[in-house]
Each structure stands twice: as structure tokens, then as C-alpha cells.
Amino acid sequence: KQEVTQIPAALSVPEGENLVLNCSFTDSAIYNLQWFRQDPGKGLTSLLLIQSSQREQTSGRLNASLDKSSGRSTLYIAASQPGDSATYLCAVLNSGNTPLVFGKGTRLSVIA
């Protein structure tokens, strides 16, 4: 059974810092991995999708990497801003017809 772990559970950084959020998964035979952002009381916003054949994806200040063999992904946020404060969730898909399996998320606070 696929299990997804995110470390740390919470992170507080000053504005302007670069930071890395970690995600690990137990079954490396994944189809893709997706990073989401969730603001308090809101739904999930998709940030980046990495297919199993890809090593990384970039969108603006965000860069997500994938190392399938070691069961790890990282989300790199450059030059953090207070508006980046949210919970970041990692989820994996084992096949095109199976549901996403989520980690518990990392709650990020960026202090002005």
C-alpha cells in the first residue's frame, strides 16, 4: 500500500529565503506526482505535476524534482514571500486509474 510522508510538518521562514519541502513515498512504481497548495478553509490548487518519466518541473519561483528510485520529491520555493504562506501537499498516483494518495502536508509560514 502506497504511503506518502512529508517533512517537516511545519516550517517558518523569514521573507526572501529559499526553502525546500520534502515528500517521500514507499512504492516507487508511481505514474506521476503532484504538488498542491491549500489555503486555510479552501480547496487544493495544483502547483506542479511531474510525470514518472520526468526529473523536474518548474513554474515561476517553484521547482519540483522527482527521484523515483529513492522514492523522493522536493518542492523548492525561491525568494519566499508572505503570500506563499499555506499548506503544501504532495500526492502520488500509482496508475492512471487509481486515486491520488496524499501526504499530510507541510504548513509554511513566511514572515515579513
Partner 1 sequence: DAMVIQNPRYQVTQFGKPVTLSCSQTLNHNVMYWYQQKSSQAPKLLFHYYDKDFNNEADTPDNFQSRRPNTSFCFLDIRSPGLGDAAMYLCATSRGGRGNTEAFFGQGTRLTVV
**Nearer to partner 1 (CB atom), residue 26 or residue 46:** 46
Give counts: helices (H), strands (E), the chain. Answer: 0, 11
Amino acid at 53: S
Listed ranges 22-30, 43-51, 53-61, 74-82: which one lies at the site for partner 1 (CB under 8 A): 43-51
**Nearer to partner 1 (CB atom), residue 38 or residue 74:** 38
Q: Is 108 in the site for partner 1 (CB under 8 A)?
A: no
**Nearer to partner 1 (CB atom), residue 31 or residue 76:** 31
Binding mask 51-90 for partner 1 (x = CB under 8 A): x-------------------------------------x-
**Dihedral (C-alpha) 27, 29, 31, 37: value to the nearest 10 degrees?**
30
**Most distant pair of Cα atoms in the chain: their distance:** 43
Listed ranges 11-19, 35-43, 55-63, 74-82: which one lies at the site for partner 1 (CB under 8 A): 35-43
Q: Can you tell me the distance from the alpha carbon of 102 to that of 2, in angstroms, rounded to the nearest whole number?
A: 9
Residue at grid coordinates 523515483: 68
